[in-house]
Amino acid sequence: MESNGKRVQLNGKPVDYQTGSVIWGEPGTNGQHAFYQLLHQGTKLIPADFIGFAKPLRSLQGNMKALSTHHDKLMANMFAQTAALAFGKTEEEVRAEGTAETLVPHRIFPGNRPTNTILARELTPETLGQLIALYEHKIFVQGAIWNINSFDQWGVELGKALAKDVYGAIQAHDADSLAATTDSSTKSLLDTYFKLAGK
């Protein structure tokens, strides 16, 4: 979402606070097997947005009973995960379930993990546009608060400039043709690339 994450303010002075976030996600329940434990039990507080749609875009093929409940199950999981993140589970609740004492510390969840839940009727081009506008505006507002330029991309530009030289070396099939200023790591990666690609 644009280019927050700057190390200097608009006036060129260094910042001493975090100015960006890493954004990732997964559709449906896929994330439950990837990064939800980090959200629930990790040592860093990570705010999360959950976006759901009341109507699925298309019906699934297959068993009619499964079709009638699939979307509702996905939505139930979304609502339940946000509740679990918000309220967690106390030591008393874990013990009341008869949990083995050695597992009690592992089954306590602090809760108080911030989430936003965004619900819409269905995913349409208009709804997608609204979501993009929402997140783009969020980036602008963060940049204004942090006193940084959310829309410059000097780091990306550096990578693009270096890519021209690297591309030339790839086309020449010769890592040594890189400019003298190119680092040995990139040259080594290119040599490995040529070997793996059979060039």
State the pLDDT at residue 92: 97
Please name the amino acid found at residue 28. Answer: G
Q: Which run of H or E residues covers position 159?
A: helix 154-172
Q: Taking CA 78 as the corner, what is the angle to CA 41 and CA 136, rounded to the nearest 5 degrees?
A: 90
Catalytic site residues?
2, 33, 160
Instruction: Using pLDDT thresholds of 50, 70 and 90, give the confidence band for residue 65.
Output: low
What is the reported pLDDT for 199?
77
pTM (predicted TM-score): 0.79
Q: What does the pLDDT read at residue 144?
A: 95
Non-local (6+) Cβ contacts of 5 within 8 A are 19, 20, 21
Instruction: Count Cα atoms within 13 angstroms, Cβ side, for 199.
Output: 14
In this prediction, residue 98 has a pLDDT band, given cuts at 50, 70 and 90, of: very high
pLDDT score at 78: 95
State the distance between the two ends of the chain, measured CA to CA, in whole angstroms: 37
